Amino acid sequence: MSSVVFQLFTVPSPMMTPVQSDAVSALCSQVFQLDYSYYMDLCPDRVHVLGYADGRLVAHALWLDRPLRVGDGPWLRSAYVEGVATHADYRQRGYGSAVIRRLQAAISGYDLGALSPAVPEWYVKLGWERWQGPLWIEQDGALEATPDDEMVLIYRTPRTPQLDLAASLTAPWRPFELW
């Protein structure tokens, strides 16, 4: 009986090898049914968590720096999480959770973690909390409301200040998925 060797690596994008980048693009393109290399090119500064089963990339998540503002408070330095994906043939084995737990430990120096979930209940089990207040996008000093069906979850780090989850949450505009 053989047991799978599962390994996790945390790699900033400038340190990624072409093989690693190609593997991330291939996995995320397959899982999200789009050309993920487009998103990788849009945000050059990312940190990837790579999960390998017997040497094959099967699970992935990344974070990037994104300022977020609660109410009228100061801009907080958030680790904004994206590209959470486990290969369809490798799900329900704890690999995705292992990647997220590694990521959660790695972002302890940030003011908070945040993401826009496709599977909110899965993240809630891992300690993420739903933002209850309105979501805003700021562009050129103007605020635009986000439609109500958009959801954001946050993760508290040791540096997270006291948060009013019912207050507004604002992010700067960006040229792709706003949340």
Query: In whole angstroms, how close is the CB of 169 to ligand COA at the nearest point?
Result: 17
Query: In whole angstroms, how close is the CB of 55 to ligand COA at the nearest point?
Result: 17
Which 3 state secondary structure label does DSSP give 120?
helix
Of the two residues 129 and 138, which places its CB atom closer to ligand COA in the complex? Answer: 129
Please tell me the total number of residues recorded for the chain in this structure. Answer: 179
Q: Of residues 122-141, which lie at the interface with ligand COA (CB under 6 A)?
A: 122
Q: Which residue has the tokens 């507004």?
A: 168
The CA distance from 61 to 47, in Å, is 9
Q: Which of 24, 31, 62, 153 binds ligand COA (CB under 6 A)?
A: 31
Of the two residues 7 and 139, which places its CB atom closer to ligand COA in the complex? Answer: 7
Q: Which of 15, 42, 105, 119 binds ligand COA (CB under 6 A)?
A: 119
Please give the residue whose beta carbon sits closest to ligand COA in the complex. 96
Cβ atoms of 153 and 115 within 8 Å: the answer is: yes
Count the site residues for ligand COA by CB under 6 A. 16
The DSSP 8-state label assigned to residue 165 in this structure reads T
Cβ atoms of 48 and 16 within 8 Å: the answer is: yes
Query: In whole angstroms, how close is the CB of 29 to ligand COA at the nearest point?
Result: 12
Of the two residues 62 and 84, which places its CB atom closer to ligand COA in the complex? Answer: 84
Closest by Cα among 131, 116, 11 to 60: 11
Cβ-proximal residues to 119 (8 Å cutoff; 6+ apart), any chain: none
Q: Of residues 43-102, which lie at the interface with ligand COA (CB under 6 A)?
A: 59, 84-86, 91-97
The CA distance from 94 to 85, in Å, is 12
Query: In whole angstroms, how close is the CB of 94 to ligand COA at the nearest point?
Result: 3
Of the two residues 51 and 70, which places its CB atom closer to ligand COA in the complex? Answer: 51
The CA distance from 145 to 136, in Å, is 5
The binding site for ligand COA (CB under 6 A) comprises: 31, 59, 84-86, 91-97, 117-119, 122
